[in-house]
Amino acid sequence: MADEVPEWASGLPDELKASPSILKFQDPAALAKSYVELEKTLGNSIRPPGPDAPPEARTEFFTKLKEKVPELVNSKDENALLGALGAPAKPEEYSPPTELGELPSELVKGWQEQAAELKLTKKQAAAALKKQFELYANQNTLVEKARTELKTEWGAALEERTRLAAAAAEKMGFPSSALEVIKSGRGSAAEMRAFYNTAKALGLDRPGNNIAASGSNTGTPALTPLEIRTRMAEIQKNPAYFKASVDTVLHSHLKQEMLKLAGMLPED
């Protein structure tokens, strides 16, 4: 009988040995041969990528297409195929995700042109723009965290030490792109400390170097909160601070300096 289970398939699970796909093979060799031929066919097939496929998948698709049937692939055909996959014909047809809100026109135009050049689908282009914004947001969060950490640690000396850190990076031959990061204080807290310490080691914080105090290093360098408290503790150790009878002039000077230092401490 045509639907009789072949003897070789009797050991298979019921759902398999009853399948018409199994019944047509008279022995395991026939089944194996069919499977090998199927793999060859699938291996040689050219499957168009879906609308959400990455750019490299589309590149691989067109490469195979040109290898197998070069006479079918010219620039016009390629554009038609891209259109079928979801790539718009004009850059202006790309629309940024609405959840990003109102974006500057120049930014949108640049994104549209880049997406068109890469021949992305609309979904791919939108996903790439969202990812870029996520990266920017994460970077800005890290920058603000580092800035807050250094502001707490350096206090009024933040700007001065930032300039010194940038000067050290420049002395060390860092490229302009890296210098801009340091000058704007967008480096990590660890990086900014390292460059500042390098500046001190190079003597860039010494009077006369015209770096620290906005190009005029003639005044007293700004102090960090820790340095201010250390100085206040030193003043309080001086007997003349508490008793004018020890030294009237010094007593007055120390009192004034203490008030000045207290005013320099950041508010809690």
**Cα of 206 vs its chain's centroid, Å:** 37
The pLDDT of residue 255 = 86
The pLDDT of residue 47 = 63
With residues binned 3-state (H G I as helix, E B as strand, rest as coil), the percentages for the chain, rounded to 5, are 65, 0, 35
The pLDDT of residue 209 = 64
The pLDDT of residue 192 = 92
The pLDDT of residue 24 = 78
The pLDDT of residue 218 = 45
Tell me the average confidence (pLDDT) per consecutive run of 10 residues in the chain, 268 residues long: 70 78 79 70 58 70 63 55 73 90 88 87 87 85 88 87 91 88 88 91 77 49 80 86 86 84 76
Give the CA-trace dihedral at 134, 139, 142, 148, to 10 degrees: -110
Measure the CA–CA gap between 84 and 77, rounded to whole angstroms.
Answer: 11
pTM, full prediction:
0.45
Measure the CA–CA gap between 197 and 48, rounded to whole angstroms.
Answer: 57
